[in-house]
Structure 1
Amino acid sequence: MRLRIDLAYDGGDFHGWAKQPGLRTVQGVVEEALHTVLRVSADDDCEPLRLVVAGRTDTGVHAAHQVCHLDVEEQTLNRCVGHMEVPAVEALRRRLSHDLPDDIVLHGVCVAPEGFDARFSALERTYVYRIADGARPADPRLRGFVLNVEDVLDIPVMNEAAAMTIGLHDFGSFATPNPGGTTIREVKQAVWQRVPMTGLFGNDTTNGEMKIVSSEQDGQQAAIAVETTANNAMNVGYSVPSLESGLLCFTIVADAFAHNMVRSLVNACVQVGRHRKSLDWFAQKMAEPVREGSTGPIAACGLTLEHVAYPPDGELAERAQSIRARRTLD
């Protein structure tokens, strides 16, 4: 039986997704929990309980929504039911949620549709990189998820650079290939945007007026004063912005990403936005895919995998088969 597992994690204390001896990784922690709740020995070669993931995140990178799959025997899955009067998949979800540490959250577990492969069936992945530049210091509560940059970044010129990445390109200047792989990827969207300064009360525009509601209750008049709107909050001398107000976000969507590709593109865009590098320099790096020091990755803390998209169930197997082919620019 193949299961689809959706989860999120704070990557700050993990050495990336992929399991590594002696290091705390997301895959390692989740697989350890699976062995515990399914009562399978880690040395059992007949039931390896190995996760296949949509996108291997690097050390320190976060995921708001990661997807993986697990192949497991039905009789093994049934072990986690115990005294619970629920289906085995739901029992696994409950036990796994209870056993995972606080920096991993389980969104859901379900039986995967026919042909589903968490990695190869995916149509696209969406990453967001968040920066607090000189225009607004980062809220200290976001220090593990946002990069601080002292300069005020030039958003229009950064978007000119980002626009060059859209389409099918060899990103060899900004990534390293897996053994036997390539750095050819198709970017579908890439844009820099500043999060608007919005208050916690949303877009209410009733100007803080006081509404009086009268009601007859137990023969007495009750006057209920209802204070309204964000504008009313502004009138008391301060405003409460939403947590991400003012942040600069880079959103990029691609069919897949090569190792260090997103963080290296962000670093290059930031250098252009600081006016330390030119658009011509960026264009040359796109045209000549050669890795060198100035196109290395930026800090991992600001990067989050936000979404993984899949085709309709009937197209999952076909998608997985086609994506396994070695990519070319033709």
Structure 2
Amino acid sequence: MTENQKHGLELSIDSSSQRPLKIGKTTDELFHGDEEEAETMNPKPGIQRYLVAVEYIGTRFYGSQQQPNCRTVVGALEEAFQKFIGQPVSVFCSSRTLPPHEPGVVHKAVNHFLQKHEGDVTVVDVRSVPNDFHARYKAQERTYFYRLVSGPEALSSFEKDRAWHVPETLNIGAMQEACKVLVGHHDFSSFRAAGCQANSPIRTLDELNVCEVASTPYFPTSMERKQRQGKEESEIEVPCSETCEVGFGIRRRHRCFVVTARARSFLYHQVRLMVGVLKAVGSGDLTVGDVGRILEAKNVSSARPMAPACGLYLGHVKYDLPPAPH
């Protein structure tokens, strides 16, 4: 994951499909779709299916799926793939196919055409997969990250649309205790936004934690550089923010927190709703006990306002794939 990544998509491409574009919601935690799509994706002779990992800055697009007269992620990818293979290509947010090419060739060629334009969509990996592979339904685990920056200073221009700016001081210890309440197998109805298409609110949350990291972009002072010399990475303290004396023209850094959520699947807006509750615990508006009561209420109206989309990153989707060829 890079700092510019807003959302990751695992998808592939079908150069011969003329079916209407059908895509799940990709602006949040789970691709919602219908099982019929997996059943109707029949392989064709002479066609290789690819799994393509994509990163993009979501705030620069009008969503992911194709829309008339709007710039979308799918539109940018379709344009780049068409320039690569010389014919129209339909992109779907699941596994698709192309005429056979080496994955490395697909990777370099598509990025070449993407970078010639806005450069805010990048293919980060391409793998050949079996013809029955489906990126949505074959996913074993998804990991999301959410970035919060805390402090009274105005948000840096470099952090705009990259994190949720919280002016209050956050109690990371209380937030970590609140995370423990939500980990496990639960009915997450209180963290399920309206419009969720999942059949059941029951999910198993394998990991939820919060840690403090250095704020970015971080440029160490001469004193900090000297302090880092000879130290292991684990020994380096996170730079101070609110209490540090800074010189003229030097921005006082925010504290930066990253929430990690890992599960096989998530409900619609589940991660952002959980972060909203964790932030309220960190600021003292809720207690750890309140988190348990919200979970037991099984009603989304009992949760705190949802965290904004700007801080959400899809970091990793785990598949059972053969080792990549060297």
- 8 Å contact from structure 2 (residues 77, 91) kept in 1: no
1:252 paired with 2:261, answer yes
- 8 Å contact from structure 1 (residues 49, 71) kept in 2: no
Q: Post-superposition shift, 1:110? A: 2.8
1:126-141 matched pairs, under 5 angstroms = 126-134=143-151, 138-141=155-158
In structure 1, the residue matched to 2:113 is: 99
Q: Post-superposition shift, 1:5? A: 0.8
In structure 2, the residue matched to 1:174 is: 191
Q: Post-superposition shift, 1:49? A: 2.7
Match of 1:195 among 173, 196, 213: 213
Q: So what's the TM-score if we normalise by structure 2? A: 0.66
1:269 paired with 2:278, answer yes
- Structure 1 gaps, min length 5: 42-47, 54-68, 78-86, 208-229, 231-236, 315-330
**Distance in 2 between the 1:306 and 1:270 partners?**
21
- 8 Å contact from structure 1 (residues 167, 186) kept in 2: yes
Q: Post-superposition shift, 1:51? A: 2.3
**Distance in 1 between the 2:314 and 2:172 partners?**
22
**Distance in 2 between the 1:128 and 1:102 partners?**
23
Task: Indicate the SS of the match to 1:252.
Answer: strand
**Distance in 2 between the 1:150 and 1:6 partners?**
35
Q: Post-superposition shift, 1:144? A: 2.2
Q: Percent identity?
A: 24
1:52 paired with 2:93, answer yes
Residues 251 and 35 (structure 1), Cα distance of their counterparts in 2 relative to 1, 3 Å cut: same
In structure 2, the residue matched to 1:110 is: 127
- Structure 2 gaps, min length 5: 1-47, 237-245
Residues 159 and 202 (structure 1), Cα distance of their counterparts in 2 relative to 1, 3 Å cut: farther
**Distance in 1 between the 2:120 and 2:226 partners?**
29
Residues 180 and 142 (structure 1), Cα distance of their counterparts in 2 relative to 1, 3 Å cut: closer
Match of 1:24 among 65, 71, 75: 71
In structure 1, the residue matched to 2:96 is: 70
Q: Post-superposition shift, 1:204? A: 4.5
Match of 1:11 among 58, 71, 74: 58
Q: What is the identity, as a one-letter code, of the residue corresponding to 1:132?
A: V
State the structure with more CA Rg.
Answer: 1
Task: Indicate the SS of the match to 1:164.
Answer: helix
1:151 paired with 2:168, answer yes
Task: Indicate the SS of the match to 1:50.
Answer: strand
In structure 2, the residue matched to 1:61 is: none
Q: So what's the TM-score if we normalise by structure 1? A: 0.65
**Distance in 2 between the 1:108 and 1:312 partners?**
13
Residues 275 and 12 (structure 1), Cα distance of their counterparts in 2 relative to 1, 3 Å cut: same
